[in-house]
Homo-oligomer: A and B are copies of this chain.
Amino acid sequence: MSELCKDISVSFAAATLLSERDWLILTHQYPDGDTLGSAYALCRALQRTGRKARVICADPIPEKYAYLTSAAQADEVSEAHIVAVDVADSKLLGAEFNAVYGKRIDLCIDHHHSNTRYASRLLLQDCSAAAMPVSKVIAAMGVSLDPVIAEALYTAISTDTGCFKYSNTTAETHRLAAELMELGVCADRINREMFDIKSRARLELERLALAAMQFHFHDRLAIMPITAEMIRRAGVVENDMEGLAPIPRQVEGVWVGIMLRETADGGFKVSFRTGNHADASDIAARLGGGGHAAAAGCHINKPLEETLRLLVDAVAAAVPSITE
């Protein structure tokens, strides 16, 4: 397939989905509300048109999303037709899934401008959540929203916008939320589950991480390291680790907030969060990563002290005014 026709429209994506009898729907690893909500909404919509569909994920789905999985029906599918949602890079499927499915994904619906264009067809919209283009594709498929689709889409847009708080929230996001709430979505229950409830282990990890937070450049740069030792001491599981990345930038006066987390290989997964003063993707790009202007990430395979030094240097280089 030529590069020229890789980028497709909403109606082409809808037609592509309707042109086959069954679809395997892939989410990214370490699944979040957007990839899951988008996937389950699309699954339900396909089933409503008489297609067979099934959502799979390389990782276990966190308990707090149980209302999405329990409302879903997993059909037997041929695995001949594959769509990925909210997956910017086939590597993010997880190594095993990438090996099996990575090179034969027919369609990707995404919202990351860093999308690596691994799928045969790509519907890419630069908006708050993958659920935004997914909702348009569902409409273009001629499927009206029902409460199950609405809860899935609401979960996706609410989680990816920090409950309509982040700069990726637009008038369009709020209009979709309004439409979904009219279908009876229990928004306050979902949001409490997504944003408020924390395990005791998570609280302990936050306590340790806050104590380890370090500041640079007149306190405009805050770095919160989470080491394997902290993870062990707090007793957190993977599910407890979501939503830590915004914490450093929540400190008054901080331009650039960085959270780094030690990974199994001894390196660090790094998350950058910035406001108007700095571009997170610029900083991440200097370290081989990428992302959006306000949120980006990279991986650094060095010991902690060296990683911290690399981060401070990259911020200084990408945001010269922070050092003034």
Which residues on A are within 8 Å of B, measured CB to CB?
Answer: 163-167, 169-172, 174-175, 177-179, 181-182, 187-189, 191-192, 195-200, 203-204, 206-207, 210-211, 213, 215, 219, 246, 249-252, 275-276
CB distance from A298 to the nearest CB of B (A): 23
How many copies make up the complex?
Answer: 2
| Contact across chains for B198 and A252 when beta carbons are under 8 A apart | yes
| Contact across chains for A200 and B178 when beta carbons are under 8 A apart | no
| Contact across chains for A203 and B213 when beta carbons are under 8 A apart | yes
Per DSSP, chain A at the interface is helix
* A206 contact from B177, B187, B210, B275, Cβ within 8 A: B210
Chain B residues, Cβ within 8 Å of A179: 171
Chain B residues, Cβ within 8 Å of A211: 207
| Contact across chains for B250 and A196 when beta carbons are under 8 A apart | yes
| Contact across chains for A252 and B200 when beta carbons are under 8 A apart | yes
Chain B residues, Cβ within 8 Å of A206: 210
CB distance from A177 to the nearest CB of B (A): 4
Q: How far, in whole Å, are A9 and B164 apart by their CA atoms in the complex? A: 31
Chain B residues, Cβ within 8 Å of A191: 164-165
Told that A169-B187, A198-B251, A199-B251 touch, could you supply 20 new A-B pairs with CB distance under 8 A?
Answer: A163-B163, A163-B164, A164-B164, A164-B177, A165-B187, A165-B195, A166-B188, A167-B187, A171-B179, A171-B181, A178-B178, A189-B275, A189-B276, A192-B250, A196-B249, A197-B250, A200-B215, A200-B252, A203-B251, A206-B210
Chain B residues, Cβ within 8 Å of A204: 210
Known pairs A171-B182, A175-B174, A178-B172; A192 contacts B165 (CB<8 A): yes
Q: Which of A179, A191, A199, A203 has the largest number of chain B CB atoms within 10 A?
A: A203
| Contact across chains for B169 and A181 when beta carbons are under 8 A apart | yes
* A197 contact from B178, B192, B252, Cβ within 8 A: B252
| Contact across chains for A170 and B181 when beta carbons are under 8 A apart | yes
Chain B residues, Cβ within 8 Å of A172: 178
Known pairs A175-B178, A250-B198; A165 contacts B163 (CB<8 A): yes
Q: How far, in whole Å, are A113 and B198 apart by their CA atoms in the complex? A: 31
Chain B residues, Cβ within 8 Å of A189: 275-276
6 residue pairs of the A-B complex, CB under 8 angstroms, read: A163-B165, A165-B187, A189-B275, A196-B250, A197-B251, A198-B250
* A188 to B, closest residue via Cβ: B167
